[in-house]
Structure formats: structure tokens, C-alpha cells
């Protein structure tokens, strides 16, 4: 075998090796992607790479048998093609990894780490956006403000770890109860605000009552002094405020919800109160806590 054929064979072998190497980042991309059309396309690409490797092996045998010096040009093209495939796969894997890192960092900046719902910063930004959109197009917009009843007593009697478990549990209930378009956010301490775009107050009240009853009936397991686990019961007071033409800004809408929530506290807690054009209306109440 002459030098041209040695060079040709070496290029084919190196090309097949590079294609095999490209399977590593391709497989990692498939693993990192969620099931769906994009993942399926990458699986298809991986299948093509495997076929290319088999094709390179066939070409290697053909070139060795024919001993044609012109095959050096063809094998060079094959080698460059393998370099291109490997480079694309490596760059794509790096891009996917960077996107995931950015998404993780963004989620951390807008999410409350304890309740695993949005934080106040994100809420205030979305509230301004939704208020402007509702004002411009006439969409209904409602805000719920939820406060845990006697939360200080929970911390005093059972410890702050129990309080954290309650907050985390309420966060789980909210994520299961609200719609995808709703924005539940920890406003501060034991207060949670839920932004409800395209939602009139009648539907907001139904959701508020569903949340209140779900929390009232949910046992939050906390550690007892003797080492056992006891079910802790909690209730919430909820204020509901719907945007009206009299609302000057988003802050006023939030203040209305806050006023309704404090009225619910004053009226005995574990209830929902709606702010309607300067007056508060109780629409649901459980056993006073």
C-alpha cells in the first residue's frame, strides 16, 4: 500500500473516530432535553451519525481494495465532514448547557427559595405589566392577598422549622390550585399575593375559597417534642380586589387587596373578603381560628 492509500485510510479512520466522539455530546444533549420534538430530532441525528460511522467503515474497505490515489481527495472530504459534525455537536452541547445555566439563574432570581413560588420582585414587575395591559385593553384583573392566621403562634409553639414547613406546604397547595397564567408570589413573611390576569372578581372569589378550604383541611406534619409527628392545622385570611376604572395604579389595586385582607382578619379570620368600590364584602368563612 502506497503513501496515498495510507493517507486515505488514516483520514477515514480519523473521521470515523471523530464521528464516534461526536456521539458523546449528542447523547448528553438528548439527556438534558425534555421529551418532545426537539429531543426526537437529536435522536434522529444520533442515528444518522451511527450510519455515517458504518459508511466510513465500508469506504475504508473499498478504498483499500481499489488502491486509487484519487481517493485521498474523497477521504479528505469525509474527514472534514466528520470534523464539522463533531464541532457542531460540541458547540450545540455547550449552548444547551449555557441555556440551562441561564434558566436556572433566572429561576433563582424570581423564585422564593422556601415556598418555591415567585418572589416579590417578580410580582411587582408582573403586576405593573398586567395592570397596564388590563387598562389598555379593558381586560379584568384581580389580586388576592393571603395571610396565614396566627403564624407567629406557630413559630412560638413549634419552632421556626415548623413554620417553614407550613410555608412550604402552602406553596405546594398554591401551585396545585392556581392556573398556569396566575402569578402566586410570596409578598413578605407569611403573606402571599396571587395575581389573576383576565379574571373577574366572581371567579377570583371561587379560587380564593378553594385555596382557603384546601389549606384549612390540610394537615401539615411537624415534629413533636417526644419525637413523633403531629398534624398541624392552619387557616388563612384572604383579601380580594378587582381592578376598576377608579384604580389609579397597580399599587392602589394591591392596597385594596390588603385592606380587604385586614378586614377578614378583623372579622374573625379564616375567611375571604372582597373589596368592592370602597366597601368590603365577606363571601366565605370557615371556623374562626
Per DSSP, 138 falls in state T
How, if at all, do strands 271-276 and 236-242 pair?
parallel
Q: What does the alpha-carbon distance between residue 285 and residue 271 come to, in Å, rounded to a whole number? A: 4
CA distances from 10 to 5, 19, 116, 246 (A): 8, 14, 55, 79
Q: Is the CB of residue 4 less than 8 Å from the CB of residue 72?
A: yes
CA distances from 134 to 115, 144, 198 (A): 28, 16, 8
Q: What does the alpha-carbon distance between residue 80 and residue 94 come to, in Å, rounded to a whole number? A: 21
Main-chain dihedrals φ then ψ at residue 267, nearest 5 degrees: -85, 0
Tell me which of 106, 129, 190, 191 is the catalytic residue: 190
Concerning whether 190 is annotated as a catalytic residue, the answer is yes
Rg (CA), the chain: 31
Buried b (16+ CB within 10 A) or exposed e, 23-55: bebbeebbeebeeeeeeeebeebbeebeebbee
CB within 8 A of 89, min separation 6: which ones? 22, 25, 26, 29
Q: Which residues are catalytic?
A: 190
Amino acid at each position: 500500500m502506497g503513501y496515498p492509500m495510507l493517507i486515505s485510510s488514516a483520514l477515514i479512520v480519523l473521521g470515523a473516530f471523530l464521528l464516534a466522539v461526536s456521539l458523546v455530546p449528542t447523547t448528553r444533549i438528548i439527556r438534558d432535553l425534555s421529551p418532545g420534538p426537539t429531543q426526537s430530532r437529536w435522536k434522529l441525528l444520533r442515528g444518522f451519525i451511527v450510519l455515517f460511522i458504518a459508511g466510513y467503515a465500508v469506504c475504508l474497505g473499498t478504498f483499500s481494495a481499489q488502491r486509487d490515489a484519487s481517493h485521498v481527495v474523497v477521504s479528505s472530504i469525509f474527514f472534514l465532514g466528520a470534523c464539522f459534525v463533531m464541532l457542531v455537536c460540541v458547540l450545540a452541547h455547550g449552548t444547551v448547557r449555557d441555556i440551562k445555566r441561564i434558566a436556572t439563574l433566572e429561576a433563582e432570581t424570581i423564585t422564593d427559595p422556601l415556598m418555591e413560588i415567585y418572589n416579590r420582585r417578580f410580582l411587582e414587575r408582573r403586576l405593573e405589566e398586567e395592570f397596564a395591559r388590563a387598562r389598555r385593553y379593558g381586560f379584568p384583573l384581580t389580586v388576592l392577598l393571603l395571610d396565614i392566621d396566627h403564624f407567629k403562634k406557630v413559630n412560638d409553639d413549634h419552632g421556626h422549622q415548623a413554620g417553614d414547613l407550613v410555608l412550604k406546604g402552602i406553596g405546594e397547595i398554591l401551585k396545585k390550585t392556581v392556573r398556569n397564567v396566575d402569578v402566586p408570589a410570596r409578598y413578605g413573611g407569611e403573606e402571599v399575593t396571587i395575581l389573576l390576569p383576565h379574571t373577574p372578581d366572581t371567579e377570583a372569589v371561587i379560587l380564593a375559597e378553594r385555596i382557603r378550604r384546601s389549606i384549612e383541611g390540610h394537615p401539615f406534619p411537624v415534629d413533636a417534642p417526644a419525637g413523633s409527628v403531629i398534624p398541624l392545622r392552619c387557616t388563612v385570611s384572604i383579601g380580594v380586589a378587582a381592578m376598576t376604572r377608579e384604580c389609579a395604579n397597580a399599587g392602589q389595586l394591591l392596597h385594596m387587596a390588603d385592606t380587604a385582607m385586614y378586614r377578614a382578619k378583623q372579622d374573625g379570620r379564616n375567611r375571604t373578603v372582597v373589596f368592592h368600590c370602597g366597601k368590603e364584602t365577606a363571601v366565605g368563612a370557615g371556623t374562626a381560628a
